[in-house]
Amino acid sequence: MRTVFQSYALFPHMTVEGNIAFPLQMAKTPAAEIPGKVEEALADVRLLGFGKRYPHELSGGQKQRVAIGRALVTHPTMLLLDEPLAALDAKLREEMQIELINLQKEVGITFVYVTHDHTEALALSHRIAVMNKGRVEQVDQPSKLYNFPSTRFVADFIGTCNLLDGVVIAAESGTVTIEVEGLGPVRATTMLRTAAGARATIALRPEKIRIEPTAADAVCENRFQGTITDFLYLGDVTVYRVSTPGGKKLEALLANSEAGRTEFFESGNTVTMSWPADAGHFLDS
Amino acid sequence: MAARSDGRLGKWLVIGPPLAYLLVFFAAPALIMALASFRTPGEFGGLSPLLENGKIDLNLDSYARFFTDSIYAQIFLKSVWYALLTTLFCLLLAYPLATLIAKSGKRHRDLLLLLVILPFWSNFLIRVYAWMIILGPNAALARMVNGVLAWVGHEPVPLLFSSFAVLICLVYVHLPFMVLPLYANLEKHDQALLDAAQDLGANAWQRFWRITFPLSLPGVYAGAALVFIPALGIFAIPDILGGPEDSLIGNVIKQQFLETRDWPFGSVLSIVLTVAALAIAGFAAWVARGSLGTPSSAGEARA
- Residue B284 pLDDT exceeds 80: no
Q: Which residues pair with A78 in a beta bridge?
A: A110
Verify whether the Cβ–Cβ distance B199 to A3 is below 8 Å. yes
B69-300 CATH pick, 3.90.550.10, 1.10.3480.10, 1.20.1580.10, 1.10.3720.10: 1.10.3720.10
- Which burial class, exposed, middle or buried, applies to A59 when counting CB atoms under 10 A from its CB (0-12, 13-18, 19+)? exposed
In this predicted structure, what is the pLDDT of residue B193?
94
Q: What is the pLDDT of residue B205?
A: 94
Q: How many residues does chain A have?
A: 285
Nearest by CB to A7, from B192, B199, B292: name it.
B192
Contacting B residues, span 84-143, partner chain A, CB-CB under 8 Å: none
- Spatial distance between the Cα atoms of A61 and A67, rounded to a whole number of angstroms: 10
Mean pLDDT of B132-149: 87
Q: Rounded distance, CA B92 to CA B184, Å?
A: 17
> Which candidate, B238, B246, B249, places its Cα nearest to that of B275?
B249
Q: For residue A11, what is the nearest residue in chain B, using CA coordinates?
A: B193
Which residues of chain B are within 8 Å of residue A11 when distances are taken between CB atoms?
Answer: 193, 196-197, 210-211
Please tell me which of the candidates A3, A9, A13 has its beta carbon nearest to residue B292: A13
Taking the CB of residue A140, how many other CB atoms lie within 10 A of it? 19
Average pLDDT score, chain B: 87
pLDDT band at B291; cut points 50, 70, 90: low
Please give the pLDDT value at position B292. 53
> What is the count of residue pairs from A and B with beta carbons less than 8 Å apart?
60
Whether residue B10 has pLDDT greater than 80: yes
* Residue B191 sits at the chain A interface (C-beta within 8 Å): no
Which of A15, A19, A26, A54 is most worth mutating to test chain B (most B CB atoms within 10 A of its CB)? Answer: A26
Beta strands at B55-56 and A281-284: parallel, antiparallel or unpaired? unpaired
Note the pLDDT of residue B293. 47
The pLDDT tens digits for B93-113 are 999 999 999 999 888 899 999
Chain B residues whose CB is inside 8 A of the A3 CB are 195-196, 199
What's the average model confidence in pLDDT over B115-141? 89
For residue A96, the distance in angstroms to the closest alpha carbon of chain B comes to: 21
| Residues of chain B found within 8 Å of residue A12, distances taken between Cβ atoms | 193, 215, 297, 300-301, 303
pLDDT at residue number A276 = 87
Confidence of residue B299 (pLDDT cuts 50, 70, 90): very low
Q: For residue A186, what are the CA distances in angstroms to A148, A177, A178, B51, B78?
A: 18, 5, 5, 114, 95
**Under an 8 A CB cutoff, do A9 and B190 touch?**
yes
Task: For residue B168, count other CB atoms closer than 10 A to its CB.
Answer: 19
- Chain B CB contacts of A15 below 8 Å: 293
* Beta carbons of A13 and B215 less than 8 Å apart: yes
The number of C-alpha atoms within 13 Å of A233 and in the hemisphere containing its C-beta is 7
B177-209 pLDDT per residue, tens: 999 999 999 999 999 999 999 999 999 999 999
Distance from C-alpha of B236 to C-alpha of B254, rounded to nearest angstrom: 10
Residues above pLDDT 90, as percent of chain B: 51
What is the average per-residue pLDDT within B5-27?
A: 89
* Predicted confidence pLDDT, tens digits, chain A (285 residues): 888 988 889 999 999 999 999 999 999 999 999 999 999 999 988 899 999 999 999 988 899 899 999 999 999 999 999 888 887 788 888 888 888 898 899 888 999 999 988 888 998 999 999 999 999 999 999 999 998 888 889 998 888 889 988 888 888 877 888 888 888 888 888 877 777 888 888 899 998 888 888 765 556 778 888 899 998 888 888 899 999 888 889 999 888 877 666 667 888 888 888 888 888 888 876
- Domain architecture of chain A: domains with CATH: 2-126 (3.40.50.300), 206-276 (2.40.50.100)
A9–B301: do the CB atoms touch at under 8 Å?
no
Over residues B216-273, the pLDDT tens digits come to 998 998 899 899 999 998 998 998 998 888 889 999 999 999 888 899 999 999 999 9
CB A149 within 8 A of CB A203: yes
Contact flag A5-B195 (C-beta cutoff 8 Å): yes
Alpha helices in chain B, H assignment, sequence order: 2-22, 28-36, 61-68, 70-103, 106-117, 124-135, 140-151, 163-186, 191-199, 204-207, 213-233, 236-241, 249-258, 263-292, 297-300
Band (pLDDT 50/70/90 cuts) for residue B114 is: very high
Whether A29 and chain B come into contact, CB under 8 Å, resolves to no
> CA-based angle A267:A268:A269, to the nearest 5?
95
B89 vs A91, which has greater pLDDT? Answer: B89
Distance CA B281, CA A285 (A): 74
A-chain residues within 8 Å CB-CB of B293?
13-15, 54
Query: Shortest CB distance from B214 goes to which of A3, A5, A13?
Result: A13
Chain B contact for A70 (CB, 8 A cutoff)? yes
Say which of B200, B202, B297 has its CB closest to residue A12: B297
| Of residues A11, A54, A71, nearest to B294 (C-beta) | A54
Which residues have C-beta within 8 Å of that of residue A1, sequence separation ≥ 6?
A: A76, A77, A78, A79, A80
Read off the amino acid at residue A196: A
| SS3 readout for chain A | CEEECCCCCCCCCCCHHHHHHHHHHHCCCCHHHHHHHHHHHHHHCCCCCCCCCCHHHCCHHHHHHHHHHHHHCCCCCEEEEECCCCCCCHHHHHHHHHHHHHHHHHHCCEEEEECCCHHHHHHHCCCEEEEECCEEEEEECHHHHHHCCCCHHHHHHCCCCEEEEEEEEEEECCEEEEEECCCEEEEEECCCCCCCCCEEEEEECHHHCEEECCCCCCCCCEEEEEEEEEEEECCCEEEEEEECCCCCEEEEEEECCCCCCCCCCCCCCEEEEEECHHHCEEEEC
Are A3 and B301 a contacting pair at CB < 8 A?
A: no
